[in-house]
């Protein structure tokens, strides 16, 4: 069920010497690509580990504790480190986050999420490069190796300065 180059170009047709976009063909190819991604091993792992986290009562209790600790820290953060509870609230949020990160289902979910994000980034990059090398492709990587994303100042987006 691979999308061929011909299928990708099926979204275009020549009318009176001008190329026009056949939205139905383009949308059909996009839905086919979406289905391929949904049936991928990366998507299956993501759904599996997300379900494991939801079914794990210890993880759900930690998620609730983390939400409360994060809320308290954000409240203290409004006043900065001079708030009397700032450091204690920060340490509590970090401690609960560490507890969450120690859970197998959370580790599995984060790994699956990162893998699926990588697949989606790769597909987005291929589509963008097929149109133009100038198109920026956003990334969730906080330290991208090249291109845009993660707050990079060198992509010419005018974001810095």
* Count of domains observed in the chain: 2
**Residue 27 and residue 70 in one domain:** no
**Residue 35 and residue 45 in one domain:** no
At 8 the pLDDT is 53
Place of tokens 């139905």: 24
In a domain, 110, yes or no: yes
In a domain, 78, yes or no: yes
Q: Supply the range of the domain harboring residue 82.
A: 41-131
pLDDT above 70 covers a percentage of the chain that reads 76
In a domain, 136, yes or no: no
**Predicted structure pTM score:** 0.72
Task: Report how far apart, in Å, the C-alpha atoms of 26 and of each of 6, 15, 30, 60, 129 are.
Answer: 11, 17, 6, 41, 17
In a domain, 147, yes or no: no
Pick from 30, 41, 32, 36: nearest CA to 115: 41
- Reported as a single tens digit per residue, the pLDDT across 56-113 is 999 999 999 999 999 999 999 998 888 999 999 999 999 999 999 999 999 999 999 9
12 φ, ψ (degrees, to nearest 5)? -115, 145
- Reported as a single tens digit per residue, the pLDDT across 19-31 is 567 888 889 999 9
**Residue 19 and residue 51 in one domain:** no
């Amino acid at each position: 069920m691979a999308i061929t180059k011909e299928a990708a170009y099926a979204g275009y047709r020549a009318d009176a010497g001008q190329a026009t976009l056949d939205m139905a063909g383009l949308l059909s190819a996009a839905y086919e690509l979406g289905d391929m991604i949904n049936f991928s091993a990366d998507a299956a792992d993501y759904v599996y580990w997300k379900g494991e986290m939801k079914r794990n009562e210890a993880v759900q209790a930690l998620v609730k504790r983390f939400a409360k600790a994060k809320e308290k820290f954000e409240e203290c953060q409004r006043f900065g480190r001079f708030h009397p509870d700032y450091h204690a609230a920060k340490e509590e949020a970090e401690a609960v986050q560490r507890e969450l990160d120690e859970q197998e289902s959370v580790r599995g979910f984060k790994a699956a999420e990162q893998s699926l994000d990588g697949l989606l980034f790769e597909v987005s990059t291929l589509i963008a490069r097929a149109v133009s090398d100038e198109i920026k492709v956003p990334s969730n990587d906080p330290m991208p190796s090249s291109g845009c994303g993660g707050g990079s100042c060198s992509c010419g987006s005018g974001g810095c300065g």
